[in-house]
Amino acid sequence: MLMQDPKPVFKRILLKLSGEVLMGEGEYGIDTAVLARIAGEVQQLRQINVEVGMVIGGGNLFRGAGLAKAGMDRVTADHMGMLATVMNSLAMQDTLERIGVFTRVMSAVRVNQVCEDYIRRRAVRHLEKGRVVIFAAGTGNPFFTTDSAASLRAIEINAEVMLKATKVDGIYSADPFKDPEAVRYERLTYDEALARKLGVMDATAIVMCRENDIPLKVFNINHHGDLVRVVCGENVGTTVVRE
């Protein structure tokens, strides 16, 4: 259900979902109930006219570094990781379209029988027409992460904010699942987030946000309604900014 008369403070956002979020309580793969719930929240953003770009990770299926550890060639492993993000993106597209939200998947590697190639100007046009654009296959290059892809696409589409959806309520001084003393930060600078090596996002992604002055908000996607709350400027999660 929508909050009472929600007013967005951003017109265009980039939402980063990790593959892990899609697993729900499982240890692998996609929980369709989780997909449906998140799609419902994205639909609410469209109902208040927020333009939504999304980047979805692939860690619920394959991670290049993990496969490489088991002996696989790293570049091949990263190709598998990128293709995993395409599968997740198609799953999210299907879920969104079943509830009437027009969506395009645009891939950084060519798989153009299943989705569009990523072309920046076309992506912006889709957003202007109110379509949710899901950017698949990360940056298209091995040795990068989908966090970096999210920063890159956020900058390219002129998103006003990058929202990183996680399983914790924001950035903590330590891992809150392991350390009961961990405290949540409401606000941090990019440099603090980098210096404290908080592990919430890779350094490349944070540096790209810093260099392009894109605020980053980290919040818990498992808290129902927090996505809309963040977009409406409520004090949810952790904000990472210049000052």
Which residues of this chain interact with ligand UDP, rule CB under 6 A? 18-20, 57-59, 63-65, 77-78, 81-82, 84-85, 138-139, 141-142, 144-146, 149
Using alpha carbons, select from 102, 99, 50, 93 the residue that is nearest to residue 228.
50
By beta-carbon proximity to ligand UDP, the closer residue of 93 and 107 is 107
By beta-carbon proximity to ligand UDP, the closer residue of 56 and 96 is 56
Nearest distance in Å: CB 241, ligand UDP: 22
- The answer for residues whose C-beta is within 8 angstroms of residue 70's C-beta and 6 or more apart is none
By beta-carbon proximity to ligand UDP, the closer residue of 134 and 232 is 134
Burial class of residue 112 in the structure, from the number of CB atoms within 10 Å of its CB (0-12 exposed, 13-18 middle, 19+ buried)? exposed
For residue 67, give Cα distances in angstroms to 35, 70, 71, 77, 133.
25, 5, 7, 6, 29
**Residue 169 labelled as part of a binding site:** no
**Residue 237 labelled as part of a binding site:** no
**Residue 215 labelled as part of a binding site:** no
Nearest distance in Å: CB 17, ligand UDP: 7
By beta-carbon proximity to ligand UDP, the closer residue of 15 and 232 is 15
Nearest distance in Å: CB 92, ligand UDP: 13
**Nearest residue (beta carbon) to ligand UDP:** 57
For residue 230, give Cα distances in angstroms to 165, 167, 214, 218, 241.
11, 15, 15, 9, 15
Secondary structure of residue 201 in the 3-state scheme:
coil
Nearest distance in Å: CB 196, ligand UDP: 20
**Residue 175 labelled as part of a binding site:** yes
- The answer for residues whose C-beta is within 8 angstroms of residue 121's C-beta and 6 or more apart is none
Secondary structure of residue 25 in the 3-state scheme:
coil
What residue has token string 């027009």?
102
For residue 143, give Cα distances in angstroms to 65, 87, 112, 147.
9, 19, 23, 12
**Residue 197 labelled as part of a binding site:** no
**Residue 71 labelled as part of a binding site:** no
Q: Rounded to an integer, what distance in angstroms lies between the CA atom of residue 42 and that of residue 51?
A: 10
Nearest distance in Å: CB 77, ligand UDP: 6
Contact 32, 72 (CB under 8 A): no
Nearest distance in Å: CB 74, ligand UDP: 8
By beta-carbon proximity to ligand UDP, the closer residue of 8 and 59 is 59
**Residue 166 labelled as part of a binding site:** yes
Binding residues for UMP: 58, 78, 139-146
**Known binding positions for ATP:** 16-19, 59, 63, 166, 172, 175
Which residue ranges are tagged as binding site?
16-19, 58-59, 63, 78, 139-146, 166, 172, 175
